[in-house]
A and B are shown apart, each in its own frame.
Chain A
Amino acid sequence: MVEKIKKKSQWREMWDRLKVNKMAMLGLGILVILILLAVFAEQIASYEDVAIKMDTSIRLQGPSKEHILGTDEFGRDMFARIVHGARVSLKVGIIAVGIAIIIGGTLGAVAGFYGGTLDNVIMRTMDVFLAIPSILLAIAIVSSLGSSMLNLMLAVGISSIPNYARIVRASVISVKDEEFVEAARAIGARDNRIILKHIIPNSIAPVIVQATLGVAGAILSTAGLSFIGLGIAQPQPEWGAMLSGGRAFLVQAPHVVAFPGIAIMITILSLNLLGDGLRDALDPRLRQ
């Protein structure tokens, strides 16, 4: 009995605190639905037969029984396109942040752990990156590499590397002077073991928060790049590109712009709610 109550890891405790946060759970709920939609997009509406099938006879129709979110300027079903768009947006968002965490996190951990000249070289390079507005940097990367989904992920990922490098570095510096790190040295552990098994697991919390918020940012950046024509190529549905395509028909058929806009908004909102909730759940000062 006692064992059962006591058996609680750090993650378990975090989850318990997150559970009581209604807004965070709302965000998580929406996010789970979005992910399910994205995963089962093909089962919900076929890509070939519905999402990219043009039919100019039914263009710019409002919501109806056949097309619950109406049709766009080429007569394609908006609902199918938004569902398939979720696939693209979430994938790009998550992979871009993944790239940023792996590269930025490694650089930050090395800089924080070793300090000195290496730290200076890495962090000043990051400062140079930070001096360029990230959307400009992404535009520059996409326009030099050409626009494809992979390049889009790379562009959005690379432009947010410095953020992760800074967060991981700060977190590593605060953990590396802890006594258990010294104790790990005293049992003969190598640097890579100390970093991977002792420092990173103890400094991951702020990174998770930033990553959740970062996915939202990456989705926005992707939509922005697609809006200006540097993102996903037609006819593949992408929320930003849908906004861009529909903006000429804003007056006649506002739903063509409104629905992808709402999709973006809901996704960002859910990620931000979850991110804020995670931050509160991981903040030791807020623990009861």
Chain B
Amino acid sequence: MSNEFLSIEDLHIHYITQEGTVKAVNGIDLKLNKGETLGLVGETGAGKTTTALGILRLIPNPPGKIMDGKIILEGRNLLELSEEEMRKIRGKKVSMIFQDPMTSLNPVMTVGEQIAEVIEIHEDVNKEEAKEKAKEMLELVGISGGRAGDYPHQFSGGMKQRVVIAIALACSPELLIADEPTTALDVTIQAQVLDLMQGLKKEFNTAMILITHDLGVVAEACDKVAIIYAGEIVEYADIESLFASPKHPYTQGLFASIPSLDEDVERLNPIKGLMPEPTDLPSGCRFHPRCPYAEAKCSEMDPKSVEVGAEHRVKCLIYSGEVSGKGIENE
């Protein structure tokens, strides 16, 4: 067996509401090796969190439903497991760090109890041993073990996120899904938390899916990147080739919208237009209404994923030769 650890194939997740079907995830393919970090980058509403919840099978149902696809973790398709088997995977093999540490901790339980809880669920230990382990975990994330008896509201935001990380790593999971773990924190704390996660990830040899909309975070932490737009992966590459030569017009737009220190610009350079309504996705390429290189064909043809380099795939008609893509920067 190769060291391929997680593979997602053609995943479709829809939210079926009275106002219409929200197509949140539309045919995502991903692969992740042991110990690797994959960045999942996209705008708000692109389907990043839905994908993450889908891996843990925690999509709120109703209205959410995994329509099609496979999520294969170590050779087992998670979508075919029973709820009971799935419960053994959550927190043990795959654990998740939620976006907002302010709300993802239970306000009436001490942080020690909350870390001990996951250990009690998955490991064959008694309450005392779990408490001891919880204290060790706290120390590991840089909080004194003596604070295990404190309540979440007695911690600052950055400290809470450390507690959340301690909970996520308490059972040494093989895959860590971090859903915008630093978005709710201020910049100085962001770097600390990222460093901490990087260090612990190495120590435990954990694979990680890092969900973010911050390309800076990606550059710092990831091995591979998937750019997600309207529920599709539009570009997938390793970190060097993505930052050296972004191919997809959307990815290029993302980079162009970051203010640069070297250039003196009057205004920021955003991608024009808005994310399409997920209930009413445009035909053909989902990005064509906002794409500066779009041609008539773009609204008719569904782009296929094209290999443009070693492990660098792009979903754009320009690269399959259907559309000229005049003016696109491409070295």
Contacts and interface: CB of A to CB of B under 8 A. Distances in A.
A179 B98 contact: yes
Contacts of A10: 107-108, 151
A188 B121 contact: yes
A190 B107 CA distance: 19
Interface in A155-205: 178-180, 182-190, 193, 197-198, 201-202
Contact of B88 (A179, A183, A188): A188
Interface residues on B, range: 20 to 34
A6 B103 contact: no
B95 interface: yes
A9 interface: yes
Contacts of A198: 106, 109
Contacts of B154: 6-8
A201 B123 CA distance: 25
B105 to A, nearest CB: 6
Contacts of B122: 188
A9 B151 CA distance: 7
> Which residue among B58, B92, B117 has the maximum number of chain A CB atoms within 10 Å of its CB?
B117
A186 B106 contact: no
Interface in A1-30: 3, 6-10
A188 B108 contact: no
B150 A180 contact: no
B164 to A, nearest CB: 8
Contacts of A7: 149-150, 154
A187 B167 contact: yes
Interface in B55-71: 56, 58
Contacts of B88: 188
B91 A182 contact: no
Contacts of B167: 183, 187
Contacts of B104: 179-180, 182-183
A125 to B, nearest CB: 24
A185 B104 CA distance: 11
B314 interface: no
B90 A6 contact: no
A201 B90 contact: no
B118 interface: yes
A183 B104 CA distance: 6
Contact of A185 (B90, B92, B107): B90
A6 B150 CA distance: 8
A190 B167 CA distance: 17
A187 B58 contact: no
B91 A188 contact: yes
Interface of A: 3, 6-10, 178-180, 182-190, 193, 197-198, 201-202
- List the 9 closest A-B pairs by CB distance, nearest first: A187-B91, A188-B90, A188-B91, A179-B103, A187-B118, A186-B96, A179-B104, A183-B104, A180-B106
Given A183-B105, A185-B58, A186-B56, 7 more contacts: A6-B154, A7-B150, A187-B95, A188-B89, A189-B91, A197-B106, A201-B109
14 contacts: A6-B150, A8-B151, A9-B151, A10-B151, A179-B98, A179-B104, A180-B103, A180-B105, A180-B106, A186-B95, A187-B91, A187-B167, A188-B88, A188-B121
